[in-house]
Structure 1
Amino acid sequence: MNLPAAGRAAEELLAEIARMKAHDLPVRGGQVTAYVYDTGRAEVHDAAIRAYVEMLEVNCLDPTAFPSVVEMEKQVVGAVADLLGGGHGVFTSGGTESIMLAVKAARDLAGRPDPVVVLPVTAHPAFHKAAHYLGVEVRAVPVDLETYKVTARAVREAIDERTVLVVASAPSYPQGVIDPVEEVAAVAAAAGVPCHVDACVGGWLLPWLRAAGAHVPPFDLSVPGVTSISCDLHKFGYAPKGASVVLFADPAARRGAYFASAAWPGYTVINATVQSSRSAGPLGGAWATLQALGREGYEALGRATLEAARRLREGVAAIPGLRVLGEPESSLVAFTGSDVDVFVLADEARSRGWFLQPQLSYAGIPANLHVTVTGVTLAGVDAMLKVIAESAEAARGRGPVRLPDGLVELIAGMDLDALDDATFAELAASVGVDLRPEAGGAGMATVNTVLDALPAAAREAVLVRFLSVLYS
């Protein structure tokens, strides 16, 4: 970006933004089945935007300077606590930050050398990120390959004197199933170890599905042994991005998440989150969304979501060559193919205007496509199933991606650090991958096939280079 010599008019800037967004996936309407959450209610979205802008310039850094932050956060955190069994909470920027604070609090309160967090292989990578930043070792345990849930026995066997935290998911993102929280928490409690429930997806969804008639097992702070839980409001709370809550059963644990520093001659530093200065815009947007929908609104969205998820599961199961993985207890649905390359299917769906999220194979779980069902999905579930069926048939006709002989071995053995970004982009182009943002995901079946054939460490190295090229 070149800084203009003179300021530009707002209308001109908005037109420029519209141009830049021309190749973005749509954030409304339900055709993008990941990353965005849509109520289908324009008035709720409008209320959130107006509140977000109203709080945009308020700084959460010093709540004594801006008491509105305290009042608003106590209301938002209180609503989450009321729904999830009580506790003492912090409003954060998202699930990753909520999880990072939970890991920090557990690490600091335990005070053990070489701390370890025990979690299922299906636990969100945010735990790996938190562990990486905080100097904690991750000990991943397998899940049952029929149910995709972790077992209490596997968790028990992984706990030792170095363990500072045990994790369960409600639900796990990949297949939308709920780990046996009661059993896992009991095992953790017996070992004297805290248990965190990652309900970033399910925290503000599962209670409303339960109210709509779904069977939802206990998973929150009311479960003995559960000591903390994370819940994203920018997912099924439908708030603007940057809104999550982490709850602790014990206020001492919440204090363990805080950071204070007096070792300098400047202003007093005390932070409840990883960030210091942060806009109160997301807090205002979350508060307004909760107020605009209310209990009745969320109950109605829960009923619509439950029905849409049921119809999607049944509809996918009826398409030849496709099967749903596990028995999803939430509104996250993953499916794989027998005679259909799911990565090619995703490309076909993308060409028809629909985004289905590819998931790579790992730990015995096959490559699959993921769909997040939201409040707006019910209105378009038949259209989605039609696209999935058409895309599956087209993918079957195209056949699976055929990689050049030796390509995977070449990449696996390559010193990627020895390549500059331009050379890496040329390598991608040689196998038909266009890394330009405006390419609209062209050739992603090839990318995903290559990644799927690589071990995790090599996948990560390639992904880092992809990101570097995109921003070069």
Structure 2
Amino acid sequence: MKLPETGWTRDQIFTALAELRAGDLPTEGGAAFAYVYDSGERAASELAAEAFRLFLGSNGLDPTAFPSLLRLENEVVGFAAAHLGGGLEAAGSFTSGGTESLMLAVKTAREWAREHRPHITAPEMIVPATAHAALHKAAHYLGVTLVPTAIDPISFRADVAAIAAAITPNTILLTASASSYAHGVVDPIAEIGQLALRHELLFHVDGCIGGFLLPYFRRLGAQVPAFDLSVPGVTSVSMDFHKYAYAPKGASVIVYRDKALRRHQMYACAGWTGYTVINPTVQSTKSGGPLAAAWALLRAIGDQGYLDLAQRTLDATRAIIGGLREIEGLRVLGEPEMSLVAFTGASPEFPLFALADAMKLRGWLVQPQFSGFGSPANLHLTISAAHLAVKDRFLADLRAAVAEVQTSPPDPGMALLLQAAAALDFSNMSEETFMQALALAGVQGGRLPDKMAAINGLLDALPAPAREAAIVAFVNDLYTHA
């Protein structure tokens, strides 16, 4: 991009931005079942935006310069600690999102082990196959060996026996989900907590997507297993506000059992010529906007307001799961405790990825998830309060789309594509060859085809390492200067 010789007018700028935004996923109205969380309350969104703008220029780097941010963070974390079953000694930090919160959980475990178990030189963390990829990312960034464990193939919950068998003298951290993203189920937290106590290990519960909503579901009568800091053995829990608290993106928290544990997540540096750096979280400079927006929404919506939003979300989830189970040809995976639902075809021959394309043509975004680790390929729905108003239309369109793809002739190109992919050696392939393989599915010049069934079928057929390499090649080609 080249800067304009003279600055654009406000109208020029916002006209251009509106044109770009027109091609994006809609964030309101209930059309999206992935990536966005829609309360359906425009006034709340506008209030959060105002609070965000008010603190946009403030910097959370130094609480002595911006004491307002210190006050806001203490109040938001205080709410989170109480909400997540923490006692008076619980302590935490506001972060930019679930990935940063999980990164800090792993960093804390690594530093705790360095202090309390200095003999461990090759630390390991145990991660069920359904745990969020951000835990894999944290292990990769922080030099901790990730030890994956099996899940129950029916319930899709973590297998406690497999976790117990994976514990070694090098283990520093156990992890579990409340709930898992892929299937919306809560792992057996109490049983894993007992393992943590028995082996004197830290145990982090990833409640990024479920930590806020599940306590409200429990109050509404839903069967929600105990998962938070009240469970013996749990030493930390993460929770996102930009999911079911409906705050703007960039709002999460990690809460520890006590301050002594939180100390291990912090970083300080006096070994340079500038000011002494102290960072409680990964970021140094950070806008106060997301924090102020989250604080404002918690105050504005209040406990009863969030309980009402949770009721709408629970009603929508139950209606959609019930509707899915009535559609011949589809099968719901597991028994979701959260408002996250995965469904697949009743037979392996069902054209699942074509169904995602058919729903997209009808104006709905459903998220494909690939097969592996005991879970078949499926389509994923993230259900929020706004979906209650559109659930009947969604289910009607889904029934029509299922009938359409079941009666459509098989795509001959798909069979040829998978046959060609089977002949490729993905273990020793250059990036250029990966791009050629993606071109077989219609991906060229960093652009995706309108219909994704072919590329999703290709990616699902690849082993996980080859799939990762293919996606890296594509994204590396996608992000380039204009």
Please say whether Structure 1 and Structure 2 have the same fold, judged by a TM-score greater than 0.5: yes
Partners of 1:278 and 1:127 in 2: CA distance: 23
Partners of 1:64 and 1:408 in 2: CA distance: 60
Out of 183, 187, 197, the residue aligned to residue 191 of structure 2 is 183
Partners of 1:436 and 1:417 in 2: CA distance: 14
Partners of 1:197 and 1:464 in 2: CA distance: 29
CA drift of 1:411 comes to 6.2
Q: Which residue number corresponds to residue 98 of structure 2?
A: 95
Partners of 1:148 and 1:167 in 2: CA distance: 15
SS at match of 1:247: strand
Residue 85 of structure 2 corresponds to residue 85 of structure 1: yes
TM-score, with length taken from structure 2: 0.94
Residue 161 of structure 2 corresponds to residue 153 of structure 1: yes
CA contact (8 A) 1:433 1:443 kept: no
Partners of 1:411 and 1:467 in 2: CA distance: 21
Alignment of 1:69-468 (within 5 A): 69-86=69-86, 87-111=90-114, 112-337=120-345, 338=347, 339-398=349-408, 399=410, 401-404=414-417, 405-410=419-424, 412-413=426-427, 415-418=429-432, 424=435, 428-433=438-443, 442-468=450-476
Unaligned runs of 5+ in 1: none
Paired AA for residue 375 in structure 1 = A
Partners of 2:205 and 2:101 in 1: CA distance: 11
Q: Which residue number corresponds to residue 15 of structure 1?
A: 15
CA drift of 1:8 comes to 1.3
SS at match of 2:423: helix
Partners of 1:3 and 1:349 in 2: CA distance: 40
SS at match of 1:117: strand
Report the CA distance shift for 1:70/1:407 in structure 2 as closer, same or farther (over 3 A). same
Report the CA distance shift for 1:157/1:413 in structure 2 as closer, same or farther (over 3 A). closer
Partners of 2:202 and 2:260 in 1: CA distance: 13
Report the CA distance shift for 1:450/1:250 in structure 2 as closer, same or farther (over 3 A). same
CA drift of 1:153 comes to 1.4
- The Cα RMSD (Å) is 1.5
Partners of 2:206 and 2:161 in 1: CA distance: 19
CA drift of 1:364 comes to 1.9
Partners of 1:194 and 1:407 in 2: CA distance: 43
CA contact (8 A) 1:100 1:126 kept: yes
Paired AA for residue 195 in structure 1 = F
Partners of 2:185 and 2:124 in 1: CA distance: 25
Partners of 1:466 and 1:29 in 2: CA distance: 31
Q: Deviations over 1:391-416 (max 9, x none)?
A: 21222223364243222432625623
Partners of 1:204 and 1:298 in 2: CA distance: 10
* Percent identity (aligned): 47
Paired AA for residue 45 in structure 1 = S
Unaligned runs of 5+ in 2: 115-119
Partners of 2:59 and 2:228 in 1: CA distance: 31
SS at match of 1:226: coil
